[in-house]
Amino acid sequence: MSATTTTGPVFAGPRTALPIPAEVDVLIVGSGPNGATYARVLSEHHPRARILMVEAGPRLTTVPGLHTRNITDPDEQRRTVRGSEGGDSTDSAEVGTHLRQERAGAVPAAGTFFVDRDAAARDDDGTLPAAALSSNVGGMGRHWACATPTPHPSELPRFVPPGEWAELLGRGRRLLRSNDRPLTDAAHWAECLRRVSAAFDASLPDDRRSGNMPVARRSAPDGTVLWSGSDTILGVLATEPRETFTIAAETLCTTLHEEGGRVRAATLRSLVDGSTTTVAASVVVVAADSLRTPQLLWNSGIRPPALGRYLGDHLVIAGAFTPEYLDAPDDVSEIFGAGRSLNNTTGTASNGLGTIPFNPVTHPLHSQFGQAAVQREGGRRPVGVTMFGYLLPKQARFEDRVRFRADKSDRYGMPAIEFDYSLTERDRALADLATANVVRAAEALGASDVLPVRQPNGMSLHYLGTVRMGAEDDGTSVCDSGSRVWGYDNLHVACNGVIPAELSCNPTLTSVAMSVRGAIAAAAVLEAAMA
């Protein structure tokens, strides 16, 4: 699939001939899945509303937010992935130096860059050393694994009724184009599922047993898999130029200006020439990921007690092995493709992706496992690898936090991001359980001597709780159940950080569902402003 098949939406600001508008109805800071959700829902509720979306990273494809797996040209795909890492698409020599140094030591996930490359190399205790970000139009939605598991009811805030959660999650699935059908019908994948089921399902309730992972994707007429990105959520906003929807790339929102419990305007700075623009807006949505959303609020003097607190991250414990019904590859890249990692097991028709869902009583953690295999010409059976891993829900604590330095800047000139983060006894007990379960799964698949690996804190990229939702303004949350920041009529936050931590599964579906609820609440504010 080509990345340049349509005219796309209207772009303004850096590297365009159009100026950024001085006044809009809605300002959305960030272009990832949650920012896209607000744009989509608000545009549907108010087709005449003028929406401006700003993104610190560059525009890398004509269709904004196109998932990189949908780019078939290898050179273009590499350029797009690299451009999301804070370099190559900018003129900053300093950023280029950061990237070269990152590649010399610890390496972040493709399409991301470490918050602190030196901390990542040291893997220090008491922090989140491998925390990483992605900067580009489309955000992390260009690179995510597209897994959309359903959270257990006990993991969702109880101040929103269960029936409403069901509706919100259903709408989130539709926006993401989540698909429950298996990625492959290969016999080797059926055997993997059968053995995992035999090893784990007896202790699990009927509705939370092992099986295929729901994955956000659809099929083209020729059968090609099209992976969902932020463009999928935007829908026609990503493909049709509209006077009411504008994107400004390489544009950093540095400050929100509030007065009397409302954000009246925002200061935007071009990352190309350093020029600044002030934009007035009736509704402001900060969807700048779970680390940069609280960073912008903090830099704007909007500092509720829970801002950046209750930081959660999925500790990842996994093992890779060849099951007894497959032959071991001589070179793993033969199975996963050039430049791909064992974490990415969903890119070809012969790959399967599965899950053992969280259950609070008998399986208090979330498993994600994948298997990839290639049938060689003349081979007796496929050559392949299984990756069996766990995501562990971090115990939510006020002490775990992202904090910001007024005396030190990040690569964009914003207050530097630092962390206080430690594992509890409960976290360590879950890590032990996950380690034992990886070994158990490997043995069920006929592999032995498997040594599960614990990834450095932060490698999951699933950062929760930093602008968490709450039932009341009691100092333990940043926003209400409509994702509106306490004390502000028109300021919403949208990212995985809205999730009140202790979520075990991949968070995108859950955060998008929360953003749907927030966008509906914002639509009511916008209606009054446009009356």
Residue 144 sits at φ, ψ, to 5 deg, of: -70, 165
Please say if 462 is a catalytic residue: yes
215-249 in b/e form (b: 16+ CB < 10 A) is bbbeeeeeeebbbbbbbbbbeebbbeeeebbbbbb
Quick check: 526 and 493 in contact, CB under 8 A? no
Residues 80, 234: Cα–Cα separation, whole Å? 19
- Using the Cα atoms of residue 504, residue 507, residue 510 and residue 515 in order, give the sign of their dihedral: positive
If one counts every other C-beta atom within 10 angstroms of the C-beta of residue 268, the result is: 22
Tokens of 161: 């009724």
Residue found under tokens 């008998």: 362
Task: Give the count of alpha carbons within 13 A of 259, CB side only.
Answer: 7
CA 306 vs CA 269, 352, 364, 458, 470: distances in Å: 28, 40, 26, 20, 10
DSSP 286: E
Residue type, 176: L
Q: Which of 67, 98, 462, 492 is catalytic?
A: 462
Residues 6 or more apart whose CB falls under 8 angstroms from that of 236 comprise: none
CA 296 vs CA 29, 116, 267, 416: distances in Å: 10, 18, 11, 11
Task: Give the count of alpha carbons within 13 A of 341, CB side only.
Answer: 10
Residue 273, classed as helix, strand or coil, is coil
Residues 394, 90: Cα–Cα separation, whole Å? 36
Residue 516 sits at φ, ψ, to 5 deg, of: -60, -45
CA 71 vs CA 2, 80, 301, 323: distances in Å: 6, 9, 41, 31
The residues carrying an active-site annotation are: 462
